[in-house]
């Protein structure tokens, strides 16, 4: 849904997405092992040609903040591509060509027929306990190649007038959590909203303008927050990990509205979310 909306704005070309499940030590009640969550996420996106699951966050020694995960992906993309990564509202117009050397390209996603001149974007999402990020590529792009971030950094890549941007993709419930005093580190909030930016998918007809007006940082960087407003009745607007778990616990057949069948089959086989504690 977010990808479609960003395409409609004419400002972005979405070139890929990363789902990054949170570390086991995050501490949320009912959080199942990252081993299970990684598998469920992989099953959920197995037929997607633009979304993949990244295990880096799960494999760290301890929980990582949202800010540190975004910075990891930004720094890794810099090393892989040699491209400039910019703030949402201050795109660089400098043509960039990065050529790490000496091997045959191994692209994960490639498009040789990109229409002229919108900004291109890479989406990542908050799926249940997963966080998502969006990368954007800019401006006139005749050809672009996105390389898997876990690929050999020596892989040859050529980027012509490309600029990548990374944004956090989330539901309006996460946006609202920025307004809870003491929940988020304010310096991290400044970086997340000010340096990276956010794409918000409203849930249950949430009033995102009201939410943003309750936080000085959200008000300050309001132009860095893009709210997907194309269709408040879109079926994805009611999807949430909490509703999925409750549906599973209660044997509610509507769970098929939230989860794909391979994920449901894995949950049942592994006997996850059987009781109220997760």
Contact 203, 173 (CB under 8 A): yes
Hey, where are the domains in the chain? 1-85+161-238
Q: Tokens 């799926």 sit at which residue?
A: 127
| Residue 139: predicted pLDDT | 35
Query: Distances in Å between the alpha carbon of 264 and those of 39, 68, 97, 268?
Result: 12, 31, 44, 6
| Residue 70: predicted pLDDT | 94
- 233-264 pLDDT per residue, tens: 665 666 778 778 888 888 888 788 888 999 99
- 196-243 pLDDT per residue, tens: 999 998 887 789 999 999 999 999 999 999 999 866 666 566 677 877
| Residue 52: predicted pLDDT | 87
Please give the helix or strand (H or E) that residue 6 lies within, else none: helix 2-9
Sign of the CA dihedral with 222 first, then 240, 69, and 83 last: negative
CATH architecture of structural domain 1-85+161-238: 3-Layer(aba) Sandwich (3.40)
Q: Using 70 as the pLDDT threshold, list the residues of the chain that sit under it.
A: 82-163, 230-238, 275-278
């Amino acid at each position: 849904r977010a990808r479609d909306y960003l395409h409609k704005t004419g400002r972005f070309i979405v070139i890929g997405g990363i789902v990054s499940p949170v570390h086991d030590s995050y501490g949320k009640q009912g959080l199942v092992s990252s081993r299970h969550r990684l598998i469920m996420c992989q099953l959920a996106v197995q037929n997607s040609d633009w979304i993949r699951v990244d295990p880096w966050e799960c494999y760290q020694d301890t929980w990582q903040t949202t800010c540190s995960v975004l910075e990891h992906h930004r720094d890794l993309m810099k090393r892989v591509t040699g491209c400039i990564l910019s703030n949402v509202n201050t795109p660089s117009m400098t043509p960039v060509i990065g050529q790490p050397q000496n091997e045959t390209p191994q692209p994960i996603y490639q498009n040789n027929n990109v229409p002229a001149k919108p900004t291109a974007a890479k989406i990542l999402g908050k799926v249940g306990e997963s966080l998502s990020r969006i990368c954007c590529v800019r401006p006139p792009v005749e050809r672009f190649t996105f390389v898997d971030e876990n690929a050999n950094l020596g892989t040859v890549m050529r980027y012509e007038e490309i600029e990548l941007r990374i944004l956090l993709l989330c539901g309006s419930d996460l946006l609202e959590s920025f307004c809870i005093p003491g929940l988020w580190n304010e310096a991290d909030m400044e970086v997340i909203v000010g340096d990276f930016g956010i794409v918000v998918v409203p849930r249950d007809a949430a009033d995102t303008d009201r939410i943003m007006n309750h936080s000085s940082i959200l008000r300050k960087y309001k132009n860095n927050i893009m709210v997907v407003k194309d269709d408040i009745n879109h079926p994805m607007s009611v999807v949430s990990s909490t509703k999925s778990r409750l549906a599973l616990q209660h044997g509610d057949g509507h769970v098929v509205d939230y989860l794909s069948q391979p994920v449901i089959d894995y949950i049942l086989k592994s006997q996850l979310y059987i009781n109220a504690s997760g």
